[in-house]
Structures are given as structure tokens and as C-alpha cells.
Structure 1
């Protein structure tokens, strides 16, 4: 039994070698569909990993007060312009909002183009500066690699201290411990009290090249009009999140001076809500990847079947000789079926390699978190095997049913 299987494989490989050009074309036709499937699924997974890792660290027990709802800004709707969330409003919110175990973080982006100096070194490219309070690091899921966090004393007394992103360690400090060193931003000197763990970049935005400073100090340095402040609230128990959110909405509506019949002119967002919306988007992309791939794979299935039918026609006399020598119908059918499976798997393997390579390359350029798409690889392997069976079954049956006498007379 094993010797017959080995003999059929040998015949299949010999046939593939004798039709090398046609086989290569078929392999690449199959590979195109598998490349599209594996490549797109790899990129979608890398995108999902990147965004999820950025927001999941905030935890499921965190929500944000923001200028707009994440889902409300659609181009097909009349745009409603909400007022910015100003400092007076966030200050009142922190004073009035006293939900048990809740911690409120406030922050704003001072600039994205600051030049940070240390002795004779300075940042290139330019760094971003963020004004924060003492709860910002915890609510944002940021962790310290060295030093300490801000304290209430630092924030309330306008202490000129700062926490740096990890890129400064190698950038301007040249691997020297930055804790206790003094840096300069726009002529204002800050004592470094902490350095954050590496966070990476998202969509080209480097999270590790930023300086966190006390919010009151930041307000004296960056005085552009209509600054929009960010408010983040974290509760210790996730089960209390809904009630904490309801109280936050009521408190902020009162601060905004809204009447009971007026709609909110601000948004509420949870990190897990955003992750779920991202999952919906990536789900659509997954469906698109499958549709594109199935169309291409259908074409490759037809191509493989045609090549196998041509192979049956060309080898009609050979089939007649084998049958005259006692070969069974099942043996003849197996020879052609093995040939189709080998060609299909070669196409699948080529497509998997190309798809992963393309996905990894684009993920590297876009700074996505790439992981090996095992699901896509398994799906591609199963699909190519199914293609081979479907494409090779009809030609194999046709070859097995040939009349040996007529086959021997075939020219």
C-alpha cells in the first residue's frame, strides 16, 4: 500500500517537472489569492494589536469627558460644533465631582514642536509637551521605568518638575540616568523626576518623545486661545463605572449650564467602547479580505482544473498503457489527484510566504505590532487543499473512466 502511494507521488512529481512552465503559472495564480488573504488578514491583525495595546492599558474602568462623541462626527450628518472644554470647567469638575474611589485626571497638549535641551544636547525631531495633574499617569495606563510620579504638592505649588518619555534616555542623555538632571523647554528649566517605560509609536505619533509637566506650569507657558482640555476618570471597581459615569455626566451638564431638555454638548468615551468599535471596523476589513481572496481563488480553481484536464488529454495514451498493464481506476485517479494536491499546496505555501512578508513589511513601515497570523495560515492551508481536491477530482475521475483500448489508439 505504501509502495503504491510512493509510486503515485513519484509519477505526480515527474508530471509536474515535465510541465514546469504551466505548473509555475498555476502555482502563482493560486498564490495571488492566498497572498491577498494572508497579507490583508496580517495587516488587519497588526492594526488591531497596535490600537488595542494602546487603549487596553487604560483599563475597562476608565471613561473620558471629551468635546465630541467618537461616533457622532459623520460626514453625512449636519455638523454640530460643541464648545471646547475649558480650564475653568475642568477645574470646577474636579472640585464638584466626588464619586467614591474615583480619580480624575486632567491634561492638555501644550505643543508638539518643543525643543528640549540638556547641556549641549537637544531633541531632534521636536518633542511634545503635555500639561497633566497627579492622576494622569495612572488613568492613562502609563508606567514609570525610573523615578517617581507627580504628587499633589508638585501640581498645586507649580513645581518645575517633569516626567520624560523613554526616547530621551538615549536621545539627549546618551544612556545616562536622567533622574535629577535639569532640562530646558522654551527657556524654563525643569528637574527630571521620572522616566516612562517604552510605549512605542501609533500612526507615526511617537509616544516616547514627550514631556509631562504640571498643568499650571504648562498653562503659563502655552497660552494659545481655545485650548481643549481632556478629562479622564478612573474608578477602582469596574462594576461602579456606570453609576460613576452617570454622575459625571450630570455634574458636567450643570457646569455647562444645560437645561434638562437640552442634549449634551460634550462626549463620553470608554476605552473598551473604542476597542469594540475598532473590532467592528477590522471585522469589515476581514470580510473584504475574504471576498477579494475568494474571487481570486475561484479563478485559480478554474485554472488548476483546466491544466489538469489538459494533462489528462496529453497523457491519454499513457493512461491506456497503464490500464493495459493492470492499473486500477482508483490508481489512475489517485495519480492525478495527488498531482493537483501538490500544485495546490505549492501555490498555498508560496502565497503564505508572500502574504506574511508583505504584511510584516507594511507593518514595520507603519509601526504596527505585527504577530504571526496563525489563523490566516491555517485557513490558507485548508483552502488550498480544498481547491486541489475540487479542481483535481473531475479530471481524476475523467482519467479513471477512459477506455484502455481507445486510449491506446489515441494520437
Structure 2
């Protein structure tokens, strides 16, 4: 049995070489479908990690008031092109002072720059550090954990203390081998004492959010004085049953601060963490559907192409089949020969498609600066699909070859 299988494989390999161009085109068509499937699914897996990092800006039971709402629904007419004003410092201070909803706390922040160069006594970073001005509640509202040291106190914020909290990667950049707590770093010539080290969060869409420095908000405003700075407000609700009431109250308060009349629509966005997660899952679902549709259409086309090439092969080798049958070859032997040939072509396309798909996933992971992990499920799925292609495409040509009358086949020219 093993010898017969080996013989059929050798015959199939010779046949594939004999019709190399047609076989190569079929392999490429199969590979395109498998590449689409594996590439998109492995890229989605890489995106899951970076989306998780992107949602780290909103902690559990927290909602943000931002310049724009984040929604996948397309708005019509003038709403689509509406430009909302930035959220100003005056507005966030008024909100913070007037907010009195129970079991909640307000966080205020703004990103001063994402291209800062930070120095220690003997080292400096590349100009790619994020500097953010924050209040005392920001880290808890954002779901950030202090790994070492402490967070900001109300005293630090009110007295504009020259202290800072650094991301986990800043330790390696500036304080290799040293405990960063108590060390001094310099931002635009201003000295800050490190009081806290954040736990690692990872990268999000190519931005390393662990390479950042948090400083008191008014100190940040004195160093970075760009006009039209946009601020973010976050409200953490300590008891989830008050979430809806807190959101309604925040909407009313901020509308009053902005002087909106009852007939005017909101010119700001209110975003809750679970809404962002739902939107992220919706995007992921769309990508999965796209992967299956694209690969499904391509794979169906490749199945037809593979079946046709095998039917042509049966026709071209009719005389060969007749000779083999005349020499005693059984129907099962003939059918297995052509079926194995179909399986080999399908597997060649599958292997090429998997390799190209993994390459796409690896490139996406590098661009997003997230760790690439082997997407076993897409690979297994691609292998199963290639086997299904072989069965679908190989059965009819194999049966046709097996049913050929040896006398008529020998007469075929």
C-alpha cells in the first residue's frame, strides 16, 4: 500500500512538472484566497492587542468627555462635516468645580506633546516621549496602576510641585540599573523628581504609551503654551448603578458650560469604556466577515480552476490511462493517482498562502509595534479549507479517469 502511494505521488509530481504553467497559476489562485484568510485573521489578532492598549485611556466604570464622539455610524448632512470647538482649560476647570455628583471623581488631562526629548543626569531619550499634564484623579480614571512609588496627591497638583510619574519604558531609557524613584529628569530645561513608575501597558497603533511622562497639569501648561490646546475630561463612577445618572448630569452640565440652547445639538462627545470596546468588537467582526468573503470568493474560483485543470489533465492523458488499465491497473489505482495530484496542487497553494498570510500578519505587528504571535487557528482553518478544495475539485476528475474504457482510451489520439 505504501509503495503504491509513493508511486502515485511520483506520477503526480511528474504530471505537475509537465503542466507547470497551468499548475503554477492554479497554485497562485489558491494561495491568494488562503493569504487573504490568514493575513486578515492574523492582522486582526495583532489589532486586538493594540486596541486593548488604545482602550487603556478609559478605565472601568469611566466615561470621557471629548471633542468628538467616537461612532461607526455615519452621520448625514451638516453633522458629518461639523467641527466641534476644542475643550478649553476654562471649561474643564468649570466642570471640575461645579461637578457634585455622588460616588464619582473627575480626571483632567491633555497631551502636551508626543515628541519630547527627556534627559536624566547622563542619558537622554529620542524625541518620541509623550508628555501629559494631568490632575490627581487621572491615573485611577484611566485604569493606570502604579508599579513603584506613588501617584499624584491633591497637594502636588494645587502647589504645582515639580514631580512626575513615568511610564515603564522610561526606566530603561534613562535609569538603567537604578531605582527611578527619587531620580531627577529634565523636560525643556525644567527639573522633575520621579515619584511613581507606571505598570506596563504596551503599544497602541504604533505609539508606545509606556514611553511617557505625567506631570501636574498647570506645570505642563506653563511649559507647553501652544494655543487651542484640547483637554480631556474623565468621570469615574464608583458605583455602576449611578452610571446613567452621572452621564446625564455630565451632559447637562457641559452643555450649560458651553452655553448651548435646548434646540442645539451637543458639540462634544461622551464616550464610555464599554461603548469603545463594543465598537472595537464591531470592527473586528467586520474584518472577520471581510476575510471570509474575500477568501471564500477566491477559494471558490480556485476550486473551479483546479477542477478544470484536472479534467483537462484527464483528457490529455486518456491514452496513458488506457495503457495503465491494459497492464492491469485497477479503477481505484487510477482514481487515487488523479486525486493525489489534486491534493498536492491544493497543498502547494495552501502552504504558499499560509506563508504569505503570516508575512502580512508579521508586517502589521511590526508596524503597530505589538508582539507577533503565531495565529494557529487561521493556519489550521486554511489547512482544512485546502483539503476541502482538494476533495471538491479532485473527486469528479478522479471518477472520470477511473471510468474510462481501456479499449476506447487506447484508441484516443
Residue pairs, 1:256-267, within 5 angstroms = 256-267=258-269
Q: 1:239 to 1:327 in 2, by over 3 A?
A: farther
Distance (Å, rounded) in 2 between the aligned partners of 1:211 and 1:219: 14
| Aligned counterpart, 1:19 | 15
Aligned residue for 1:63, secondary structure, equals strand
The one-character-per-residue Cα deviations of 1:175-208 (angstroms, maximum 9, x if unpaired) are: 3211101222223221110122233332332312
Q: Deviations over 1:105-129 (max 9, x none)?
A: 1011223343322223222224232
The CA deviation at 1:141 is 1.8
Cα distance, 1:7 vs. partner?
Answer: 5.1
Aligned to 1:157: 159
Contact 1:63 1:271 in 2 (8 A): yes
**Aligned-residue RMSD, C-alpha:** 2.6
TM-score by length of 2: 0.89
Cross-structure match for 2:67: 67
Which consecutive unaligned segments of at least 5 residues does structure 2 have? none
CA distance in 1, matches of 2:295, 2:72: 33
Whole-Å separation in 1 of the counterparts to 2:118 and 2:328: 86
Match of 1:217 among 214, 219, 229: 219
Deviation of 1:330 after TM superposition, in Å, equals 4.2
Deviates more, 1:256-265 or 1:313-322: 313-322
Q: What secondary structure, in the 3-state scheme, does the structure 1 residue paired with 2:238 have?
A: coil
Structure 1: stretches of 5+ with no match in the other structure: none
Correspondence for 1:403: 405
Counterpart position of 2:47: 47
The CA deviation string for residues 209-232 of structure 1, in whole angstroms up to 9 with x for no partner, is 221111122222223332221101
* Matching residue within 184, 187, 191 for 1:185: 187
TM-score normalised to the size of structure 1? Answer: 0.89
Residue matched to 1:363: 365
**Structure 1 residues 200, 60: CA separation in 2 closer, same or farther (over 3 Å shift)?**
closer
Distance in structure 2 (CA, Å) of the matches to 1:59 and 1:126: 25
Count of aligned pairs: 407
Q: Is residue 2:83 matched to residue 1:81?
A: yes
| Other-structure match for 1:195 | 197
Moved more, 264-273 or 313-322: 313-322
Segment of structure 1 superposing worse, 176-185 or 79-88 = 79-88
Determine the C-alpha separation between the residues in 1 that align with 2:334 and 2:363: 44
Measure, in 1, the Cα distance between the counterparts of 2:289 and 2:370. 21
- Note closer, same or farther for the CA distance 1:56–1:405 as it changes in structure 2 (3 Å cut): farther
Alignment check: 8 A CA contact 1:56 1:271 kept: no
Q: Is this contact kept in 1: 2:53–2:204, CA < 8 A?
A: no
Structure 1, residues 61-92: CA drift from partner, whole Å, max 9, x if none?
11101112123996974322323222222222
For 1:126 and 1:286, how far apart are their aligned partners in 2?
33
- After TM superposition, give the deviation of residue 384 of structure 1 in Å: 1.2
Output one character per residue of 1:363-390: Cα deviation in whole Å (capped at 9) or x when no partner.
2133145333333223312221121112
Which position in structure 2 is the counterpart of 1:226? Answer: 228
The alpha carbon displacement at 1:337 in A equals 2.0
CA contact (8 A) 2:53 2:201 kept: no
Tell me the CA shift for residue 57 of structure 1. Answer: 7.3
| Aligned-pair CA distance for 1:44 | 2.6
